[in-house]
Chain A
Amino acid sequence: MIQVAHLVKSYGLGRPALADISFEIARGEVAFISGPSGAGKSTLLKLLFRQEEPSEGQIWIDGRNVTRLHSRAVAQLRRRIGLVFQEFRLLPHLTALDNIALAAQVAGASKRASRTRAYQLLRELGLKERYDASPFTLSGGEQQRVAIARALINDPAVLLADEPTGNVDAEATEEVMKLLLRLRERGATILIATHDRHMIERYGTRVLRLERGALIGDLARESGG
């Protein structure tokens, strides 16, 4: 599902942010990218959803070479990828419901269908009472659940999450992880970047360890979570 071959990302002259990274993640697999801050976790994710272009190497997602896509195809690719970020990235002037529905509308669903589906997701995530709340009035955990609902609304084949529990408390972390891993039941491939060891120990089935831009370990473990 995700294939990465000899990936290099450099910014100027110094040490590359990513150096010769190669790995494969099968369809339906859940993998964690671990490593300290500055290891290159976020950079790797940005390259996967083409927010940035690699200096060298290739990335294939679902058989398509991501590194060779033109801008229109990049937009199409992102509609098939669910993205979750540490800082939630919700639009402050939209309600929780509209933040979620936005992704479906961008993918071409009508406003009514988008809102109906968004409401279903809010209900599934236990947030139906907060459907018209502004992101400002939601707790960190609630905001992340809304962000996850937005990532799920188009039934993505791939879910990429960058420190999804970085801004939520311990109780909410559990909840967020359960929600993310629920997508595995639908056959989606999930890649989560985190430096939280406890989370990896608890949920990690496969861990890609990055350090100073290099892949120093690819460990498959017994199923967690």
Chain B
Amino acid sequence: MAQAVARPAAASRRRSGLARQEATFGYLFLLPWLIGLTVFVIGPMIGAFVLSFTPYSLGRPLTFNGGANFVRAFTADPQFYNAVGRTLNWAVIYVPLSIVGALLTAMLLNQGLKGTNIFRTIFFMPHLVPIVASVYIWTYLLNPKYGLVNEILFRITHVDPGPGWFASKDWALPGLIILGLWAAIGGNQMLIFLAGLQGVPKDLYEVADLDGANGWQKFRNITLPMISPTVFFNLVLGIIAALQTFSNAFVATNGGPAYATWFYSLHIYASAFQFGEYGYAAALAVIFFLVLVVLTTIQFQLQKRWVYYGGEVK
């Protein structure tokens, strides 16, 4: 103590030396990720912007064509607006259904039923089936002619023929939505909701009971505000995931029939890897990125009106 008082200059020098050492090692531990972030995330991000102004294809020198790719996307690409429309159509139906479905499933598991762990595990299993495998299972189940689903529908309604599902341009999207919901309503989003529900303090409900609140009032005025941060989280990531949906449509329908499930990701993929137009595909990706930035910013602005953070433990 006395020493420290006697030689404050030396102590502070030693402290700043330690701080510098700590900083050096901090960067050193972070080095792999700094490289990864630069080479595999930020670099490619910049690369996408640069490529979007070029007619690049593999092996060609980099030349610039101004905004020609963007002009083409908006004015001369017959599938561009179709892809945008199909993707929005998918997201607008699928995102709310999956979030409401996951929330209802989580609420069911939050009722203290006996065997809740077993139910949770069973509900979660579809989410674990690899997408490719689940697509094939459903391709058979939804086969318009031989599939079990149409057989059951026929026995109930006696309408023949039933929906054409992946073979029909009107039913392919509903088919993908069924597949998606099957995998989603007991999946990760549900687990996150469940954790949110379990974090709502029980005494709030007890107070509401004393006030004579009914089930809906308790849900509307206690549950929903208290779990609004989880709703927001699932909504933001759910929209991003839905807008870049690829594997299910690629495997089940390859974007068909007649481009009925030609999602935006398939359009990017086909432009690059089937037609070799990498510059154009990069421009499509940049448009997608900008739209997402705007969408996500809007959501972060709007959340101030409806997301309640007072319930967080921290």
The answer to whether A and B interact is: no
